[in-house]
Structure 1
């Protein structure tokens, strides 16, 4: 049985180790974060402080976009867009990693505490009974302030999260 996490698409480009986990993992990715990849790729604003790291991450974003645009993967993504909260069939990244893209919809449940994409991440985690995996400490703080009923892991604790005995109901 694979471990499941809700995550933003860009995190996989930034943290390559997420594609080589120690055990099977399914990433549940809100579609709006997939669309953000195009914005990040074209943006003159750096994603990383170090220019070499920034160049590397933007190259990885390009590779991720190219992979998602392959005909079979594109078809899977398009299937998720037909109805709010529908999910794509699994998009495979090697033997141990799969993505399920969800057509998440912001319902403004958390008001100004969370932006629309953050709200979609939280709502996806609630609907899928899966913890959130992020590197954004400020987001973690705001989710805690909003008292959202979700579990959150910092990406730095990824290996611990993979081994954690607190498992949600697996659908």
Structure 2
């Protein structure tokens, strides 16, 4: 049985520990965050502070994009885009990690406090009853302030999150 988390695609590229968990994990990723990978790959803005780290992350983003564009994975993703809130079948990233793309729909419910991808992550977490993983401390704070009934973990607490979440 795997544990499920809602996460942005770029986090998978940035944080290597997410691909080597102690237990099996399933990541649910809103499709718009997959599209955001293309923006990050083409952007001249640095994602990381150090040049060598930035280059490494850009390379990982390119690899993730290429993996998603492989015919079988692309077909799985395209199928999920036919219906709002549809979810792709599992895309295997490693022996212990699988990913599912969700065709989340931003309904502007949290639009004043959260950007569209953050809103889709929140709505996906609520719909799938799964905790979120993020590195954005400000977003965690805004979720708490807004009293949104979703569990959210900082990526630095990933090992703790694995211990504390029920398996599905």
SS of structure 2 residue aligned to 1:62: helix
| CA displacement, residues 92-140 of structure 1 (integer Å, 9 cap, x when unaligned) | 0121000010000001111311111110000000000000000100111
Q: Distance in 2 between matches of 1:26 and 1:139?
A: 22
SS of structure 2 residue aligned to 1:4: strand
Is 1:29 paired with 2:16?
A: no
Residues 110 and 146 of structure 1 are in contact (CA less than 8 Å); yes or no, is this contact kept in structure 2? no
SS of structure 1 residue aligned to 2:17: helix
| CA displacement, residues 15-43 of structure 1 (integer Å, 9 cap, x when unaligned) | 01111111100000000000000000000
Is 1:143 paired with 2:148?
A: no
Q: Distance in 1 between matches of 2:145 and 2:129?
A: 20
Residue matched to 2:4: 4
| CA displacement, residues 63-85 of structure 1 (integer Å, 9 cap, x when unaligned) | 00001100000000001100110
The unaligned stretches of length 5 or more in structure 2 are none
1:57 Cα deviation after fit: 0.1
Q: Which runs of 4+ in 1 moved over 3 A?
A: none
Q: Distance in 2 between matches of 1:40 and 1:59?
A: 11
The unaligned stretches of length 5 or more in structure 1 are none
| CA displacement, residues 45-78 of structure 1 (integer Å, 9 cap, x when unaligned) | 0000111100000000000000110000000000
Q: Distance in 2 between matches of 1:70 and 1:147?
A: 40
Q: Distance in 2 between matches of 1:145 and 1:131?
A: 17
Where do 1:82-97 residues align within 5 Å? 82-97=82-97
Residue matched to 2:118: 118
Where do 1:75-86 residues align within 5 Å? 75-86=75-86
Residue matched to 1:52: 52
Name the structure, 1 or 2, with higher relative contact order (CA <8 Å, separation 6+): 2
1:9 Cα deviation after fit: 0.1
Query: Could you say what the CA RMSD is over the residues aligned between the two structures, in angstroms?
Result: 1.0
TM-score (norm 2): 0.98
Q: Distance in 2 between matches of 1:132 and 1:94?
A: 20
